[in-house]
Amino acid sequence: MGNLFSSNNYSSNETTTPTYVYQNTEKTLFDVSSETEDDSEEEDKSRYNELEAKKYLKTEKRLDRYSMMIVSKYFKTKEDYLNMITVCKDYQYILDQFHYNPIPVKNKALFPQLETQHFYTQTDFKYQVEVSHKVIWYPLYYTDLMILKKTDNTILAKKVIYNEAFNYRVTPLIPKEVTSLGTRLFTEVRCKEMTVPSQVTSLLCQCFTGCHFQTIILPPSVIRIEDYCFYQCNDLKELEMTPSVNTLGQHWIDGCYSLTQIHIPNCRTFFAKVDVFTSRFLEDQNIHCEEIEFSDNDCALRQRNHVSPVIPTFITKLEEFTCSPAINSFTVPKNVIVIGEKAFSSSRATKIVIENGVKKIGRKCFERCSWLKEINFPSSVDKLHRDCLRGCTALTRVAIQRDLFEKSKNVFANLQTINFIF
């Protein structure tokens, strides 16, 4: 883009201040003010333009050495740094000013004054240079960090995962180096309350799954909660979160049947998948849920209350393992269009009714349903996968359209005692 120049005192007779545009590509200035009929005035303006152009070229500056060093921190390759120092003499010794390595290095050739070596991947750690301090940026288990510190106490790790499950007799004590809590750490802990330490930034997949805490308090440092983090925490009554959380995983709080309070400041919409029970609880807290699934938790809750599972009318797809193993019978309503892969896998249901409306049935949908005796396939279904009924050894009665049966004979090839109803 061009640069603008203006003259405030060009001529006392002028009522309009002329403006001049410098164009870098042609190194000339053009008068864009209103035209004048006076030739001498045009000559004066031309000389003025020339003088201003020369003045601009003299004052045009590159980044100073300090600013260039800041910019170079974001370079990606060794070649970027080598190209930089060839631009001008001022940049020639910038690499000597670096006391750490912004990119992976194998020696001190690029940064001769290196004092703190940063390791960005596990491969980088193979090339250790003699320095005062070492910083690891790739994820590292706490146990591995402790092993490294036995031989080198100068190591600092930025992403440390705690992965040792706590004993139920011990009150959880998170080491100060830990920034992420791993899988199923608290299943055996019998404490009623848990306050996550302030240095923790992430709760990984299934972190609190199956725990017995009644209250969990998260600090402002936590920004990420992964899939199934609080899954089936049946004793959890209260969960306190902060506005700093910006990532929520799928089904992160499903199956928490005892939950009565959840504090999520400034949250009005959930985009992560949740089950029907959780969505209704969150709606009561004035939090809207975008993706809702009918899950095995919904089935289990209905069974727990001695009520047959009822799929809401807004549900159009059943995902994996929808049917809880404890359910004796199940009806798939007409609003469901797709039954996903393994939706009823290993279910103990003896009878499954599929209403007319379902169009697609996924692979291994009823696999290993060894208690299943009776099932029907409505006319809306146009295809059955070969392994759809694999392992359904108790199946004796199948209601099916004849044309679908003809297209799907291989599905029933190993099932000899079936009575077909067309």
Question: Element (H or E) spanning 419, and its range?
Answer: strand 419-421
Asked if residue 228 is part of any domain, the answer here is: yes
Q: Are residues 336 and 392 in the same domain?
A: yes
Q: Are residues 405 and 379 in the same domain?
A: yes
Asked if residue 20 is part of any domain, the answer here is: no
Rounded average pLDDT over 95-104: 95
Q: Please state, rounded to an integer, the average pLDDT across all residues of the chain.
A: 83
Give me the half-sphere count of Cα atoms (radius 13 Å) on the Cβ side of residue 289.
24
* Boundary residue ending a domain (268, 287, 306): 287
Asked if residue 36 is part of any domain, the answer here is: no
Cα–Cα dist 279/290, whole Å? 9
Asked if residue 153 is part of any domain, the answer here is: no
Residue 295: which of 306, 280, 286, 283 has the closest Cα?
280
φ, ψ for residue 375, nearest 5 deg: -155, 155
Cα–Cα dist 210/30, whole Å? 75
Asked if residue 12 is part of any domain, the answer here is: no
Quickly state the pLDDT bin for 196 (edges 50, 70, 90): very high
Q: Are residues 166 and 275 in the same domain?
A: yes
Q: Are residues 282 and 298 in the same domain?
A: no
Q: Are residues 278 and 299 in the same domain?
A: no
Q: Convert the pLDDT of each residue in 333-381 to its tens digit.
A: 999 999 999 999 888 889 999 999 999 999 999 999 999 999 999 999 9
Asked if residue 253 is part of any domain, the answer here is: yes
Higher pLDDT, 134 or 171: 134
* Boundary residue ending a domain (106, 138, 170): 138
Q: Are residues 268 and 317 in the same domain?
A: no
Domain harbouring 382, CATH code: 3.80.10.10
φ, ψ for residue 411, nearest 5 deg: -65, -35
Coil, helix or strand for 257?
Answer: coil
Q: Are residues 218 and 300 in the same domain?
A: no
Q: Are residues 302 and 317 in the same domain?
A: yes
Q: Are residues 314 and 373 in the same domain?
A: yes
Q: Are residues 276 and 246 in the same domain?
A: yes
Q: Convert the pLDDT of each residue in 206-232 to its tens digit.
A: 999 989 999 999 999 999 999 999 998
* Boundary residue ending a domain (228, 252, 287): 287
Quickly state the pLDDT bin for 306 (edges 50, 70, 90): low
Q: Are residues 200 and 305 in the same domain?
A: no
Asked if residue 344 is part of any domain, the answer here is: yes
Asked if residue 248 is part of any domain, the answer here is: yes
Domain, as residue range, for 186? 160-287
Cα–Cα dist 84/5, whole Å? 31
Q: Convert the pLDDT of each residue in 124-150 to its tens digit.
A: 999 999 999 999 999 999 999 999 999
If one counts the domains in the chain, the total is: 3
Higher pLDDT, 269 or 310: 310
pLDDT higher than threshold 60 for residue 7: no
Q: Are residues 79 and 106 in the same domain?
A: yes
Q: Check residue 275 and give its pLDDT.
A: 87
Give 21: exposed, middle or buried? Use CB within 10 Å, 0-12, 13-18, 19+.
middle
